[in-house]
Chain A
Amino acid sequence: MNPRRIAADFGVFARGYVRNRVGLFFALAFPVIIILLFGAIYTTAGSSTAPVVVQDLDPGGASSQQFLAILNASHDLSLSFVNASVGNLSSYLTSRGLTAGLVIPANFSARIAANQSAGVVVYTDPGQASVAGTVQGVVSASLVELNLERTHTPSLAYPIARNVGSPIFTDIDYLVPGLIGFTILTSPMFAMVELTATYRKEKLFRQLSLTPLTRGEWLSSKILWYVVLTLISAALMVSVGDLLFSAHARLSWGMLPFLVLGTFLFVSLGMLSGSVTRTPETAAVVGNAITFPMMFLSGTFFPVQEFSPALQAVAKVLPLYYVIDGLNSVMLFNDPTRALTDALVVLGISLVFFLAALRAFRWRDE
């Protein structure tokens, strides 16, 4: 491996790529457009106040009524109410993708009246620190105000902080890692399938084989280029998701193995597909046949958890599933153990495809 030759091939390929506006559009602009479209679909009209679901188990109680009036007067929270029939509020919040809630206990007013302490349970999502801080701050201040007005004892009514049962993520949160996976899949796959078949047809490989450039160097420069492209694309998508739709997905160093290994995997798979087919037209068909089912079944647009068990089983044999699952693990769930497992699976599959591609792909014939 000669870094100078890899750099030269990288440079000439990158120039050609950047000058091809169609390729650049599909690599960078298209995923962002999809985020905008899906983001608009997923997001309902938003509010600048923090939404809080209130489960008042002491309806009509004097203290609970007063407490709610103080909360409403703050104008920082947007209250909605559920009754006791919804059961556990934490589960209710989780199931609806809601991030904050309050439970006023059944004997709240009676205990305050009896000068006994009473706790209000405040559910927040630690993943949304600013919303959680607002809700906890407003609720605490409102309880202090209630205490002072009714009992002159500052700590009689107090907040009990709880996290929502599990981190709450909405479809837009899953969409960002999903679309990064989409880019990792489509940009190198489509390009390498087409490139491999066309270079062979136009005898460009034959020409390159007459230079000191090796197959490994050629492939390395392609992987390097698509890693760079994927990094730019990932940064764009995370920024758009965050700025426009407040998506939770964040840039993290943990993404790197998936951006690199995922690209390595699909450059190799693209090269393999292009090498085993005879014409660019057949190669395109094979590329589409591999790419499209994988795109829809691996959690690109919708979380795999929402699939039927049968489809989930299918998803788990697709390499893109592990790329997206790994990205979800590092960008949403902060689960390094799961991410490591996913990364190892992606590495294993990548090596298999890489070796198969090198075997199928020849500079020269016997």
Chain B
Amino acid sequence: MPRAVEVRGLVKEYGALRAVNGIDFDVEAGSVFAFLGPNGAGKTTTVEVLEGLRRATAGSVSVLGLDPWSQGSELHRRIGVIPQEFRFFEKITPGEAVAYYAALFDRPTLVDAVLERVVLLDKKNDRFENLSGGQKQKLGLALALVSEPELLFLDEPTTGLDPHARRSIWEVIRALRREGRTIFLTTHYLEEAQLLADRVAIIDHGRILTSGTADSIIAEFGRPDRLRLDGPPELAEALRRTTGRPVRYDRGRVEVEVGGREEFVRLLSAAEASGLPWSNVTTVRDSLEDVFVRLVGSMDEGEVRAAALPSGAGGGR
């Protein structure tokens, strides 16, 4: 598959601070690529280099076959960018904004069609200052689409939006992917990345920690799957004795790590054999968020456990 973005040994320094420390990654054309990292990880700097807004200190960057810094003008005609918390001129309506961008890009003014695409046609004549957060982000998307870009950079496009508005933006992103456009997505919502992205890269302290599909990253860095069932503390103790596996207990909930299908069956048999009451059996698998938290090390292990099992973390009784 052709590559929309190729990054090799990218370094970006601000004086003595090395914000990006020699990273490599590729984005395949026509895919959704999620770029994840905590605040200050080097995410925004990397994206700004890719967009041609900052010059790389070292390394090579190719976006749609162009050098973003020296060929920025040409590149900007082929990419669309939606910044985080999109802002525009307060007194201007979405219809006027799209017509303005069409004139700047020397494109035919198909205002209604562009607004319809992002489900904003009903707000065509409302001033920007009167739009909701989700509607503003949709206008950002609409403006990014005016030039019919091959590659879209979406910087936390759903931050601060209500669940309905978020899902509405997701639908637009999926539609863009179906049209064959490449999407470069940065987001704090790991669930969003897991749902939308074909591939994911996680950056921290200026380095790429891992990259791949969400499933492959979870398989590599996630904890084993767990069996979770409701029962008394004695049940946790009985299962630890029987299986020899780590068992955690928290407020009537028992959680045991399992290695495979056979172990599930054996555990349930052990629970039954204990003669203690149990119910509500579920299996638990790490999400991308769990892996992200563990990888970037921004929360200590206790906090991870607390996040997984609310309060009273710890195994056994």
Contacts and interface: CB of A to CB of B under 8 A. Distances in A.
Residue of A16, A203, A204 contacting most chain B CB atoms (<10 Å): A16
Interface string A50-68: 0000000000000000000
A16 B54 contact: no
Interface stretch (B18-26, B89-97, B201-209, B244-252): B89-97
Contacts of B103: 4-5, 7-8
A8 B54 contact: no
Contact of B73 (A5, A202, A212): A212
B104 A15 contact: no
Contacts of B72: 364
B264 interface: no
B14 to A, nearest CB: 10
Residue of B87, B101, B105 contacting most chain A CB atoms (<10 Å): B87
A262 to B, nearest CB: 26
A343 to B, nearest CB: 34
B91 A210 contact: no
B52 A364 contact: yes
Contacts of B96: 12, 15
A268 to B, nearest CB: 22
Given A4-B103, A8-B104, A12-B100, A209 B53 contact: yes
B177 interface: no
B312 to A, nearest CB: 44
5 contacts: A12-B89, A19-B91, A207-B87, A211-B104, A212-B76
B83 interface: yes
A275 B183 CA distance: 33
Nearest to A23: B91
A364 B106 contact: no
Contacts of A212: 73, 76-77, 104-106
Nearest to A17: B91
Contacts of A204: 87-89
Nearest to A198: B87
Contacts of B100: 8-9, 11-12
Contact of A203 (B76, B83, B101): B83
Minimum-distance CB pairs A-B, first 5:
A8-B103, A19-B91, A16-B91, A202-B87, A364-B53
Interface in A1-27: 4-5, 7-9, 11-13, 15-16, 19-20
Given A204-B87, A212-B73, A365 B104 contact: no
B101 A211 contact: yes
**Main secondary structure on A side of the interface with B:** helix
A206 interface: yes
**Main secondary structure on B side of the interface with A:** loop
Interface residues of B, number: 27
B54 A364 contact: yes
Interface string B103-130: 1111000000000000000000001000
Given A12-B96, A364-B53, A206 B104 contact: no
B18 to A, nearest CB: 15
Contacts of A209: 53, 76
Residue of A209, A211, A365, A366 contacting most chain B CB atoms (<10 Å): A211
A213 interface: yes
Nearest to B140: A207
Contact of B81 (A16, A207, A364): A207
Contacts of A5: 103-104
A204 B140 CA distance: 12
B55 interface: yes
B76 to A, nearest CB: 5
Nearest to B53: A364
A204 B97 CA distance: 13
Given A12-B100, A207-B83, A210-B81, 19 more contacts: A4-B106, A5-B104, A7-B103, A8-B100, A8-B103, A8-B104, A9-B100, A12-B89, A16-B89, A202-B87, A203-B83, A204-B89, A206-B83, A210-B76, A210-B79, A212-B76, A212-B104, A365-B54, A366-B54
B91 A15 contact: yes
Interface string A202-224: 11101101111100000000000
Contacts of A8: 100, 103-104
